[in-house]
Structure 1
Amino acid sequence: MDKNLKIVFLDRITAGPIELKERFLKYGEYIEYDDTDADQIIERISDADVIITNRIKLRKEHFDKASKLKLVLITATGFNHIDIKSGNEKGIKTANVSDYSTNSVAQLAITYLLNTLTPITEYSKEVKNNKWLDITIPEYQSYPVNDAEGKILGVVGFGNIGKKVATIAEVLGMKVMVAKIPGRNYDENKSKNIHEKRYDLDEVLEKCDILTLHTPLTELTRDLINLERMKKMKKSSTILNLARGPVINQEDLYFALKNKIIKSAAIDVTSV
């Protein structure tokens, strides 16, 4: 390992209160910035060998000005903010943390799922507004409790997080259907156990009670869930998005919710 590297962390604030300096100084010079604005990127990476970032967007114009750059380290799982293709063309490698926050994101997905089936949020509002004792039977039935057992969970994106969510859902008695992403090639010769069988996306949309999204953002997944596809879903269905905002067309989602094409959505990410 080269011990004369210049390592630059562009958004150190995202890493939290952990000590990093001593870990990297043994490889050479280490510089960290709390955050980096778009107009500061080129100046800060121009002579860097290694860049560390969580969410700073790095594009071709940046790599063109970083002649020494060898490696981009992403302190997250997602990498759609990095122009990996342009980096590869210049021999720049990119590495992410593929198992970062797998349990945390899966836990949040299951929290959303359970709150959809048992609408604790709505009950909590009634209690806080002192309406619980006045509630009538019809009003109570507007927030029905549904068992997870027997429900169908559609999963789009079956990496570490998607698999973890599917495993927990199965424990709750749900049937899991893993969707094929249109345009992606799949090995149809694999054994079709519960964690390998893939269903056409349209079939998953038509049958699922809850659809959970965990796919990376690519050209194949941008606007993957649009109005046309939401119209294939049950009117009682819910969409969970813990992937990237643009995987769902947000204007279409708003229209679908407003017009009761689907029942609800829980989103951890947006397109903005």
Structure 2
Amino acid sequence: MKVIVTERIADSGLEYLKEYVDVDFRLDIPREELLDIIKDYDAIIVRSVTKVDKELITRGKNLKVIGRAGNGVDNIDLDVATERGIIVVNTPEGNIISAAEHTIGLMLSIARNIPQAYNGTINGDFRRNKFKGVELSGKTVGIIGLGRIGSLVATRLAAFNMKVIAYDPYIRDSRFEKYGATKVTFDELLKESDFITIHTPKTEETIDIIDEEEFKKVKRGVRIVNCARGGLINEDALYNALKEGIVAAAALDVFKVEPSYDREKQDFNNKLLELPNVVVTPHLGASTVEAQNNVGISVAKEVVTALNGKLYGNIVNLPDIKADEFGELKPYMKLCEAMGALYYQINDIPISSVEIIYRGHISQHNTDVVTLHALKGLLKPALKEGVSVVNARLRAKEMGVEVIEGKIDEINHYSSLVILKITDTKGGISQFAGTTYGDEIRIVEYLGHKVNFEPTEYMLFVRNKDIPGVIGHIGNVLGDFGINISSMHVSPNKSDGTALMIVNTDREIPHEAVESLNNLNSILRAKAVKGLI
């Protein structure tokens, strides 16, 4: 497998990658060249400058994983990646302390005019009255976004004896209490804050979250810090507010349009840089030795893990699943994918809905990722390509398939059971059920038959007359084609004189062998199935 790294990560991260994959480190690679060669790579690792947009993703015919060395993923087109079944991973924990501490540093800088005083002093200007600042103690700080970084900032600013208020519509009240922040509305935060700091992801909802209208509501003389993402504050509106004295000072670690962070000299035009009451740093939020090592190693491990098909960790476009839970759910993922893969190989009627019911112990878990495996198995024979656990739910929606999930605590006979109930467009119902014994998977119901078999790579499903000699006939036909029978399971139906025969074979069963079986008088229907595991 090949991985390209287009921005600087810690050497420790590159060394880790080299242990498992072929790595190309291409710092400052021209975009046109990247577009030309991306087709050769299984994964790409970026930070914040490389735009992994629709054009790049579409050109990446072999891309399986996109790694973001850092928290935000606004430079990655998640919708397109998901559409193409590409896993996107990031490292939200690796640099949170560094980002929180940098926020505090910038806040102190604009409170006490530290950069301006430094520049004045080294140039012989020691007029300290020129650099008079304000204290943090006793002031109100408004935190927009009380997630990982925002909560760390809250606890640190509380130690400065600041009154901490916060706005985050997606956070439970208990989190505000935990971090000593008073929950307020967005308008209340704007009106009451002496300092405002932003810690939200960049989404359609948060772009220009502070714009001209918001600056009309703020307390005059407010100071603003943005260490999160460029574009959260409208830069034209901020410029005007600074010029008019509405905002006393601003500290920015990010811009809407980012420069290159690896060139010594470059032309970068942004009128905010012209103002004396603006402090800027070149996206230093994660630039500490500790954070870079954490992020570099973390993104390398996340990418390698995802390339190896292990779906736990910081996968942005999959349900959250922890490593310990992954181990327990992994057999059910395999089971449900196998049950799903049965349908279109034994039935050619389109699906209208699929119901996945979890019973017993499995119902206590977050089973979202198991459902995705069931959908992947179900749709892959129909779609052939372009379906993965990442986009399986989207593909089902595009096909008009309703997905229903249910959980029931009570169960008989098994500790856990998963039922896959598929309704076709003619109203017919196909039902499969399965369970696990440790890492072993078993299908225990097949189209109304009580069974107990292990799905394998090559299988034959036969509905036959329940009469003597059928097993011998099947064995003879398969033997004529050089196919060995690994195991066989027979489930008779006493009510209609038929039986279901499930045969595991050592190799793929050719179409000619199936035709020969279907020509036998004793065989009602024979279907070869492959790729269940």
Q: TM tier, shorter chain?
A: 0.7 to 0.9
Q: Following the alignment from structure 2 to structure 1, what is the Cα–Cα distance between the partners of residues 244 and 72?
A: 32
**Matched ranges for 1:118-157 at <5 A:** 118-132=112-126, 135=127, 140=129, 143-157=131-145
Choose which of 207, 228, 232 in structure 2 pairs with 1:222. 207
Unaligned stretches of 5+ residues in structure 1: none
* 1:36–1:56 CA contact under 8 A, matched in 2: no
**1:193 and 2:177 equivalent?**
yes
* Runs of 4+ that moved beyond 6 A: none
SS in 2 for 1:260: coil
Give, in whole Å, the separation in 1 of the partners of 2:30 and 2:222. Answer: 40
Q: Which consecutive residues of structure 2, in runs of 5 or more, have no partner in the other structure?
A: 258-533
Q: How many Å apart are 1:242 and its aligned residue? A: 0.8
Contact 1:148–1:173 (8 Å) recurs in 2: yes
213-222 or 109-118: bigger deviation: 109-118
1:123 & 1:65 partners in 2: Cα distance? 50
Given the superposition, is the C-alpha separation of residues 221 and 126 from structure 1 closer, same or farther in structure 2, using an over 3 Å criterion?
same
TM-superposed CA distance for 1:167, in Å, is 1.1
Shift of 1:215: 1.4
The two structures have a TM-score, normalised by structure 1, of 0.84
- Any conservation in 2 of the 1:151–1:174 contact (CA below 8 Å)? yes
1:236 aligns with 2:233: no
Aligned to 1:176: 164
* Identity percentage of aligned residues: 29
Q: Please state whether the residue corresponding to 1:30 is helix, strand or coil.
A: strand
Match among 25, 33, 56 for residue 26 of structure 2 = 33
- What residue in structure 1 maps to residue 240 of structure 2? 255
Farther-moved stretch of structure 1 (164-173 vs 35-44): 35-44
- CA drift of 1:64 comes to 2.1
Paired residue for 2:45? 52
Measured at CA, do residues 57 and 124 of structure 1 come closer, stay the same or move farther in structure 2, by a change above 3 Å? closer
Indicate the larger mover: 93-102 or 116-125. 116-125
**Greater strand proportion:** 2
d(CA) in 2 for partners of 1:71, 1:165: 32
Alignment partner, residue 155 of structure 2: 167
What is the CA-CA distance between 1:41 and the residue it aligns to? 2.3
Cα deviation for residue 100 of structure 1 reads 2.9
Q: 2:104 aligned with 1:107, yes or no?
A: no
How far off its partner does 1:217 sit?
A: 1.0
Greater C-alpha Rg: 2
Q: Letter of the 1:10 partner, please give it.
A: T
Indicate the SS of the match to 1:211: strand
TM-score, length basis structure 2: 0.45
Question: What is the aligned partner in structure 2 of residue 87 from structure 1?
Answer: 81
Q: How many residues align?
A: 255
Cα displacement string for residues 39-64 of structure 1 (whole angstroms, at most 9, x for unaligned residues): 12232220322211223111122222
Aligned Cα root-mean-square deviation (Å): 2.3
**SS of residue matched to 1:39:** helix
